[in-house]
Structure 1
């Protein structure tokens, strides 16, 4: 009996593989427990169509991240913070501050979790990196000025 694995099965194979198994094991365990489907032509065609659809969605998402990375590399948001008498900031610039500045000044919404920046406690120009999924990243500068 040929089955298409829907989930990984230890000792048998990974999801998406087609395997030959004994009839009882295939019907009673794999199909019965939802680990596999009987590998008919229709099931295989449906699975292949689903794989193509997922690949297209993945490529579209990668392209979206690349476009966003290009936009980020061209901008320099300005963050205003209160400054003490010695020229240092009260507190520091956070990822939240950078994400809010990007949204307010450039209309770009980013999750602050993808931003990486060093501790910023002075005014000046600093580098920030946004790390998206699929090994796509963008480096851009922020300018911290006295309020």
Structure 2
């Protein structure tokens, strides 16, 4: 059913737009709650006036998204985690944790589903896109430090040596990975049992 939205409806559109929705959704939810009206001829005649309001709302919404993108673009969130010598975490940093920490750092509350990476399971610095709108995707930096080294990292960052600290940590991880024993499958052909000289001669006589 075609309806004219009277309110912004998540995943369907903003007020004033003419959209197609399921009949049941329109009759049982949108129209009774005065969130939309059926797109009849009379209603469509009034649509032009609503369109101007829609454009104004859309511009306002786009400006808001741009402001949010500017606030979080390049923001860094830092986590301290237990990890193996190879850099693999004992667990992970989830997108919900990223969203919570981003709120602490920037004051911007982002739904975790807008964070493109669901989980991170390795030490280091990770660039993570955040889907703010259709065309707006700022990046945040997720830095994961080995447990017990956060104070040292913060001191290094204060001294302008954060990149060197991360590079050294990554190098240590690379060395640990290269030193891990390599387990390979070795196939050994079955050894032939020795044949007695007499038996070999008997075989030759039989031929």
- TM > 0.5: yes
Superposed CA RMSD in Å reads 2.6
Conserved 8 A contact 2:73-2:140 = yes
2:80, 2:54 → 1: CA distance? 43
Evaluate the alpha carbon distance shift between residue 84 and residue 135 of structure 1 in structure 2; reply closer, same or farther with a 3 A threshold. Answer: same
Conserved 8 A contact 1:62-1:134 = no
Conserved 8 A contact 2:72-2:106 = no
1:108, 1:70 → 2: CA distance? 11
Superposed, 1:1-147 pairs within 5 Å as: 7=3, 15=18, 34-38=38-42, 44=45, 46-84=46-84, 86-117=86-117, 119-147=119-147
Give unmatched runs, 5+ long, in structure 2: 5-17, 20-37, 148-207
Give unmatched runs, 5+ long, in structure 1: 1-5, 9-14, 17-33
Shift of 1:109: 0.7
Conserved 8 A contact 2:95-2:118 = no
Aligned residue pairs total: 115
Evaluate the alpha carbon distance shift between residue 109 and residue 132 of structure 1 in structure 2; reply closer, same or farther with a 3 A threshold. Answer: same
Larger of the two Rg values belongs to structure = 2
Report which of the two has the higher share of strand: 1
Report which of the two has the higher share of helix: 2
**4+ residue runs over 3 A deviation:** 84-87
2:77, 2:118 → 1: CA distance? 16
2:82, 2:91 → 1: CA distance? 9
